[in-house]
């Protein structure tokens, strides 16, 4: 089944304790992205990756790191989490970058990771 998976789905942690949220897709997609969703703010893009070893900042990259060593994986790293990073996180992927003209270039989202930083 074609899907984007995220782990963990739920995480409660404490300030300063490094954590990684994994994201994996099995559709051979080039483009992957991370978003956070906060009440009243909608979704905001954290980082995105156009392909392996190519990553770039979105709107709210501060406090996050990413890497794209393999096409299928795009982990989100919080080196020193703080309470303002408490949020719902979504990973997404699409066949190509979002400006690609292909009508099949839909963006698929993972199920979300609810992170609480105490």
Partner 1 sequence: AQKVTQAQTEISVVEKEDVTLDCVYETRDTTYYLFWYKQPPSGELVFLIRRNSFDEQNEISGRYSWNFQKSTSSFNFTITASQVVDSAVYFCALIYRGSTLGRLYFGRGTQLTVWP
4-7/42-51 β-pairing: unpaired
> Does 107 sit near partner 1 (CB under 8 A)?
yes
Q: Enumerate residues 58-87 that contact partner 1 by CB under 8 A.
A: 58-59
CB closer to partner 1, 16 vs 111: 111
Kindly tell me which residue out of 13, 44, 77, 116 binds partner 1, with binding defined by CB under 8 A. Answer: 44
Of 13, 8, 2, 28, the closest CA to residue 117 belongs to 13
Radius of gyration of the chain from Cα atoms? 14
Q: Is 99 in the site for partner 1 (CB under 8 A)?
A: yes
Q: Return the bridge partners of 35, or none.
A: 45, 90
Q: In the complex with partner 1, which residue's Cβ is closer, 78 or 92?
A: 92
In whole angstroms, give the CA distance from residue 68 to residue 87.
22
Is the distance from CB of 64 to CB of 84 less than 8 angstroms? no
At 17, phi and psi to the nearest 5? -90, 110
40 binds partner 1 (CB under 8 A): yes
Q: In this complex, which beta carbon is closest to partner 1, that of residue 26 or of residue 80?
A: 26
- Would you tell me which residues interact with partner 1 (CB under 8 A)? 31, 33, 35, 40-45, 48-50, 56-59, 88, 90, 92, 97-99, 101, 103, 105-109, 111-112
């Amino acid at each position: 089944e074609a899907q984007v998976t995220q782990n963990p789905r739920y995480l409660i942690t404490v300030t300063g304790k490094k954590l990684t949220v994994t994201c994996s897709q099995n559709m051979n997609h080039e483009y992957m992205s991370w978003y956070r969703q906060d009440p009243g703010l909608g979704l905001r893009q954290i980082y995105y990756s156009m392909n392996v070893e190519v990553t770039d900042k979105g709107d709210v990259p501060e406090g996050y790191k990413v890497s794209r060593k393999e096409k299928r994986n795009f982990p989100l790293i919080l080196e020193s989490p703080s309470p303002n990073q408490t949020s719902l996180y979504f990973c997404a992927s699409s066949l190509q970058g979002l400006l690609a003209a292909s009508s099949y270039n839909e963006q698929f989202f993972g199920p979300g990771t609810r992170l609480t930083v105490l």
